[in-house]
Amino acid sequence: MTEPIIEVRDLWHWYLRGTPLESVALQGASFTLAAGEVVGIMGHTGSGKSTLVQHFNGLLRPHRGSVRVFGSDLGDKHVDPRPLRRRIGLVFQFPEQQLFDPTVADDIAFGPRKLGCDHAEVRRRVQGAMAAVGLPFDTFKDRYTFGLSGGEMRKVALAGVLALEPEVLVLDEPTAGLDPRARRDLLNVLRALHDERGTALVFVSHNMDEVAELVTRVDVLADGKTVMSGPVREIFREERRLRELGLGVPAATELAGALRERGVALRGDVLTIDDAVEAMMWTSSSSPAA
């Protein structure tokens, strides 16, 4: 078996360490990502998701435990994490933390320029990334990054990372604030990157429907610890456990539960709209008349 791209073991992290306000954000989190995988991370607010993913490209360093990324040991202070950032693109939870340049096109071009792309390549990537997130190039290229609506700002931050064309994309609640169309389009873009280029994806989300649609495996954090990990279908079978952890199940799964409570026999796991339609079609055509 090849070595995982990201391997986190028993990770601990404190904020304001050594001050009276010290608080522990991670206390024994673990995580692995293999090449080409699509993994979801869920957990209540404050469970440590954002803290965990900021270790993946060395923005935060482990206080205890180990973080290995593309073979580098990020616990070793002498390891320079910057080369990793070309390979692992991280989209922050709060887009305003990610935008630096005054105008939209310059902000998105920043990464490709730093990678040494020539002018034509920078332009190709910026236009491609803006199209992928649904920002019309001519309308938005010269707009100020701080004079945008919330969703538009999110799209610029996403485009800036997509333009890096990294091998791994780590997205921290990327659909928050996006309209339904932009959400759907983003999921399609991510799926295409995975299917066509083999991009590995880490998708942090509070949206159970999206997790069910996109990922194959899920990790669940609670109070800084990894408490569940497994194939998405198995995780969403644990509805009661998930609710105790402040989470839920996809709407389609909820519907299947409500139907079963009402005595309807449904086949298999129901996670997505497609699953629900298929299961309900099958039942309505195969059950004997009441």
Partner 1 sequence: MTGAADALIRVESVSVAYPVPGGKVQALTDVSLEVRRGEWLTIIGHNGSGKSTLAKLFNGLIIPGRGSVTVDGLSTADDEQRKRIRQIVGMVFQDPDNQIVATIVEEDVAFGPENLGLPRAEIIERVADAMRRLEIEDLRQRAPHQLSGGQKQRVAIAGVLAMRPAVLVLDESTAMLDPSGRTEVLQAAQALHRDGVTIVAITHFMGEVVLADRVVVLAEGRVALEAQPRDLFAQPERLRELELDVPQVTEIAARLRARGVDVGLVPLTVAELADAYVRLPRAAA
Ligand X SMILES: Nc1ncnc2c1ncn2[C@@H]1O[C@H](COP(=O)(O)OP(=O)(O)O)[C@@H](O)[C@H]1O
Ligand Y SMILES: Nc1ncnc2c1ncn2[C@@H]1O[C@H](COP(=O)(O)OP(=O)(O)OP(=O)(O)O)[C@@H](O)[C@H]1O
**Out of ligand Y, partner 1, Mg ion, none, which partner does residue 100 contact, by CB within 5 to 8 A per kind?**
none
Examine residue 290 and tell whether it contacts ligand X (CB under 6 A).
Answer: no
CB of 173 to partner 1, least distance (A): 7
Examine residue 173 and tell whether it contacts ligand Y (CB under 6 A).
Answer: no
CB of 180 to ligand Y, least distance (A): 11
Judged by beta carbon, residue 60 or residue 255, the one nearer ligand X is 60
Query: Rule CB under 8 A: which of 60-99 touch partner 1?
Result: 93-94
Whole-angstrom Cα distance, residue 132 to residue 171? 15
Examine residue 44 and tell whether it contacts partner 1 (CB under 8 A).
Answer: yes
Examine residue 50 and tell whether it contacts ligand X (CB under 6 A).
Answer: yes
**Out of Mg ion, ligand X, partner 1, none, which partner does residue 94 contact, by CB within 5 to 8 A per kind?**
partner 1
Contact residues toward ligand X (CB under 6 A) are: 15-16, 23, 25, 43, 45-51
Contact residues toward partner 1 (CB under 8 A) are: 23, 43-46, 93-94, 103, 142-144, 147-152, 154-155, 173, 176-184, 206, 208-209, 243, 246-248, 250-252, 254-255, 258-259, 261-264, 273, 276-277, 280-281, 284-290
Contact residues toward ligand Y (CB under 6 A) are: 147-152, 179
